[in-house]
Copies of this chain bind each other. A is one copy, B any other.
Amino acid sequence: MSKQRLEIIGQDVDVDVDADAGADACCRRLAAAPLDDDRAAELAKVFKALGDPVRLRLLSMIASQDDGEVCVCELTPAFDLSQPTISHHLKLLRQAGLIDCERRGTWVYYWALPDALARLASFLTVPRSAGATA
């Protein structure tokens, strides 16, 4: 139920980092039990954020940074896209709870939220042997 309100940036998007921090990891497995509508909608939002090559590359660039954070000014020129487009994708990743940002002087820095990734990973993990090559 924790809302993040990035006043620094002045965006009033009200990112819902809800994420149900209370629920145990074991109960949130894809293969454990059929998803109810609410959880499915909640998860679909995050996966949809990952369902774009540009956002995937952005997140990868952010998450693989040694400093743990990247300036937008480093991200934008890495793409053959306009600056507003990059900004839009970053906003979507942020609304999905995958990254967060902070303005520092003129520049804005983004970093990944490892918990969100870890939750997704454990959600996709199949408890079984997971053998079969196909």
Contact = CB atoms under 8 A, between A and B. Distances in A.
Interface of A: 2, 4, 17, 21, 30-35, 37, 40-41, 43-45, 47-57, 59-61, 63-64, 78, 100, 112-115, 117-118, 120-122, 124-126, 128, 130-134
A103 to B, nearest CB: 18
B130 A63 contact: no
Given A114-B132, A118-B126, A34 B61 contact: yes
B118 A121 contact: no
6 contacts: A17-B134, A31-B112, A37-B57, A44-B55, A44-B56, A117-B124
Contacts of A134: 2, 4, 17, 100, 113, 115
Contacts of A78: 34
A100 B41 CA distance: 23
